[in-house]
Amino acid sequence: MGARAFAGIAVAATVATAALPAQADDPPRKVVRIYDNFYSPDEMKVKRDTVVVWKWPNDTGDVHDVKLKEKPKGAKRFWSDPASVGYKFKRKLTVPGKYHIICTLHEEMEMDITVRKRRA
Amino acid sequence: MAVDYPAPNDPGKLPPRPNGQEATLHVCKKPRCFHSIQEAVNASRGGDTIKVANGKYKEGVQVKNKGRRGLRIIGNKKNPGKVLLNGKSLKGAKAQNAFFVNDVDDVTIRGFKAKNYKANGFFLTKVTGYLLKNLIAQHTGRYGAYAFNSKGGTMAKSEAYEMSDSGFYVGQTPPQAKPKRTFLKNLKSHTNVLGYSGTNMRYVTIQDSQFWNNGIGIVPNALDSEDFAPPEFNVIKDNEIFWNNFNYYLGAPFPVTGDETQTGVFPFPVGLGILLFGGRDTLIEGNKIYGNYAAGFGMIDQLALEQEDARTVDRNTISGNEFGLGGMDLNGRDIAYDGSGSDNCFGDNGDTQNNLPADDSELVACPFSGENGVNTDARNEMIQISVDEDRESHWIKHPHADKAGYTPLEHYGG
């Protein structure tokens, strides 16, 4: 397949995706980018039932993970696989309170998420 | 892709085998075999052996659960290339590590080749004891074999190349009252940013190995990004460390943006055999160090470390090494040391040439106690070698000696 044809298909797919109506009951999503050696943002406040997506870079980067170190009572623990590039990890945060996230491979790398009581 | 991943404090329990015996599980294409390594691992118990037949496997194997202590995963020990794990078309977590062992002690992995993973070839974290032997890692992301936050273990008879960080890595070793040493021996590491790197490593012996055609051969280093700085109680002996002049900044078989190729705030220099970037109680002896254009051996404190009490280089002994292959393959400078730290000494390293500083005033004989005394000009020149974007401008090139089966690599043309 030639590059021009491939580009045409890609554009068509993009338009089709963009044309999809948003689902009214989709939970909101927040993205956290993973860099060497920090999460961005490293602090956020979200509504209950928000899906937080951690995204690793696509080009290069060191190995990092996402581990829930401290959590509100009743929240499920989570811990991503260690990854370097081209990876994402998501969790829906359903319990209000403070979540402290760390990278187990880089002690300086941490972030906090506050989940509000109000549902999204 | 999100993957459930049990927390280490709650790994679940493995039921014991009914007869209490250790089992041998087979991975092959025959009907009675497991058809993937992961399936066999999932069915395994502590002390079991998994034998993996020659073939190509597309998976990222994860070994979790303390109940699998002592598990042995064995491919082809004589010809590891015949048991190939290829991560090329894998997605999600499986694409990251060929083998990932988390919190399972005394696991053995032998006789595999890993290729085309995004993070690591063979990755172990939070383990006590391991054996990685007869392995090949090619183009597996950051590290070929990587042991993190672990106590004791062995990496042996293995090869790693085309890593965007280091071929072999042992880091964040917890301090121990009765240390379990880690041994790296009979390794081959080439065509990487670093042949070996160890951030805050301790009780590690690197011996009888070859490091060539990397940006730097061996780099024990102190960094704030990991616990337990600085590196200490390490031994680097009887290695061959040569031709580490691979200027990957100008092109490499792995992605390089520049940001990742740095130690703290300093970019990695290129053209060094061994660099001690912070560290205590290191013994460097009996190594053959030649053909490295910036310097054969360099030592400087980690001046950018936030943890001030772990910055210095202290009580390091550099003794009985041979520089320059008897004049046949000279280093640009044999020894570059700015005199930082205390109780560092040099003994019986033969006739060294073109050292930094040039008057050899920092090469005090062993034993020595007291502050070595910083030479500011040498210090500034060492920093300049690291930070200057025209890295090769600090090289002092000499012709290499012929070495059968080896070709010097300075600029990647592949």
Mean per-residue pLDDT, B137-159: 98
Q: Is B92 on the interface with A (CB under 8 A)?
A: yes
In angstroms, the CA A36 to CA B58 distance is 28
Residue A23: the pLDDT is 55
Q: How confident is the model at residue B378 (pLDDT cuts 50, 70, 90)?
A: very high
Cβ within 8 Å, pair B259-A36:
yes
Query: Using CB atoms within 10 A of its CB, is residue A118 exposed (0-12), middle (13-18) or buried (19+)?
Result: exposed
Mean per-residue pLDDT, B295-312: 95
Evaluate whether residue A8 is within a structural domain.
no
Locate the chain B residue with the closest alpha carbon to A84.
Answer: B119
Residue A17: the pLDDT is 32
Q: Does the pLDDT value for residue A13 go beyond 50? A: no
Residue B33: the pLDDT is 96
Range with lowest mean pLDDT among A5-14, A94-103, B32-41, B58-67: A5-14
Q: Does the pLDDT value for residue B10 go beyond 70? A: no
Q: Is B226 on the interface with A (CB under 8 A)?
A: yes
Q: Where are the domains of chain B?
A: 142-394
**Domain region containing A53:** 24-119
Cβ within 8 Å, pair B257-A60:
yes
pLDDT tens for each residue of B329-363: 999 999 999 999 999 999 999 999 999 999 999 99
**Substitution target from A53, A71, A87, A107 for chain B, most B beta carbons within 10 A:** A87
Q: How confident is the model at residue B413 (pLDDT cuts 50, 70, 90)?
A: confident
B13: phi then psi, degrees, rounded to nearest 5: -120, 145
* Whether the bond into B367 is cis, omega within 30 of 0: yes
Residue B257: the pLDDT is 66
Task: Measure B6 CA to nearest chain A CA, in Å.
Answer: 7
Evaluate whether residue A67 is within a structural domain.
yes
Write the CB contacts of A80 (distance below 8 Å, at least 6 apart in sequence). A54, A65, A66, A67, A89, B2, B3, B5
Q: Is A51 on the interface with B (CB under 8 A)?
A: no
Task: Measure A101 CA to nearest chain B CA, in Å.
Answer: 13
Q: Does the pLDDT value for residue A105 go beyond 70? A: yes
pLDDT tens for each residue of B196-228: 999 999 999 999 999 999 999 999 999 998 999
Q: Does the pLDDT value for residue B60 go beyond 90? A: yes
Contacts of A59 in chain B (CB under 8 A): 255, 257
Tokens coding B255: 């992605």
Residue B17: the pLDDT is 75
* Whether the bond into A41 is cis, omega within 30 of 0: yes
Tokens coding B27: 């991975």
Tokens coding A88: 């994402």
Q: Is A108 on the interface with B (CB under 8 A)?
A: yes
Evaluate whether residue A49 is within a structural domain.
yes
Mean per-residue pLDDT, B53-82: 97
3-state SS assignment for residue B138: strand
Contacts of B4 in chain A (CB under 8 A): 78
Residue B259: the pLDDT is 54
According to DSSP, the β-strands at A50-55 and A88-93 are antiparallel
Range with lowest mean pLDDT among A21-30, B45-54, B105-114: A21-30
CA angle B168, B157, B252 (to 5 degrees): 40
pLDDT tens for each residue of B87-101: 999 999 999 999 999
pLDDT tens for each residue of A41-90: 999 999 999 999 999 999 888 999 999 999 999 999 999 999 999 999 99
Residue B6: the pLDDT is 40
Mean per-residue pLDDT, B99-124: 98
Evaluate whether residue A46 is within a structural domain.
yes
Evaluate whether residue A101 is within a structural domain.
yes
Q: Does the pLDDT value for residue B14 go beyond 90? A: no
Task: Measure B2 CA to nearest chain A CA, in Å.
Answer: 4
Could you identify the residue written with the tokens 């659960």? B65
Mean per-residue pLDDT, B175-182: 97
Q: Does the pLDDT value for residue B382 go beyond 90? A: yes
Cβ within 8 Å, pair A107-B118:
no
Contacts of B3 in chain A (CB under 8 A): 80-81, 89
In angstroms, the CA A113 to CA B332 distance is 52
Q: How confident is the model at residue B120 (pLDDT cuts 50, 70, 90)?
A: very high
Q: Residue A87 belongs to a domain with what CATH number?
A: 2.60.40.420
Evaluate whether residue A3 is within a structural domain.
no
Locate the chain B residue with the closest alpha carbon to A107.
Answer: B226
Could you report how far apart the first and last alpha carbons of chain B are, in Å?
A: 33
Evaluate whether residue A106 is within a structural domain.
yes
| Cβ-contact A105, A65 below 8 angstroms | yes
Residue A118: the pLDDT is 81
Contacts of B172 in chain A (CB under 8 A): 105
Locate the chain A residue with the closest alpha carbon to B100.
Answer: A82
In angstroms, the CA B158 to CA B176 distance is 27
How many independent structural domains does chain A possess? Answer: 1
Cβ within 8 Å, pair B165-A62:
yes
Cβ within 8 Å, pair A89-B3:
yes
Predicted-complex ipTM score: 0.86
Nearest neighbour of A108 by CB, restricted to B5, B225, B259: B225
Nearest neighbour of B260 by CB, restricted to A61, A68, A81: A61
Query: What rounded mean pLDDT belongs to chain B?
Result: 93
Could you report how far apart the first and last alpha carbons of chain A are, in Å?
A: 44
Mean per-residue pLDDT, A1-30: 45
Task: Measure B25 CA to nearest chain A CA, in Å.
Answer: 26
pLDDT tens for each residue of B254-303: 988 655 455 555 678 999 999 999 999 999 999 999 999 999 999 999 98
Q: How confident is the model at residue B158 (pLDDT cuts 50, 70, 90)?
A: very high
Residue B267: the pLDDT is 79
Cβ within 8 Å, pair A108-B3:
no
Q: Does the pLDDT value for residue A3 go beyond 70? A: no
Locate the chain A residue with the closest alpha carbon to B262.
Answer: A36
Contacts of B6 in chain A (CB under 8 A): 79
Task: Measure A88 CA to nearest chain B CA, in Å.
Answer: 6
- Put residue B360 in one of left, alpha, beta given phi > 0 → left and psi -120 to 50 → alpha: left
Q: What is the DSSP string of A2-43?
A: -HHHHHHHHHHHHHHHHHSPPPTTPPPEEEEEEETTEEESSE
Q: Is A84 on the interface with B (CB under 8 A)?
A: yes
Contacts of A101 in chain B (CB under 8 A): none
Residue B256: the pLDDT is 83
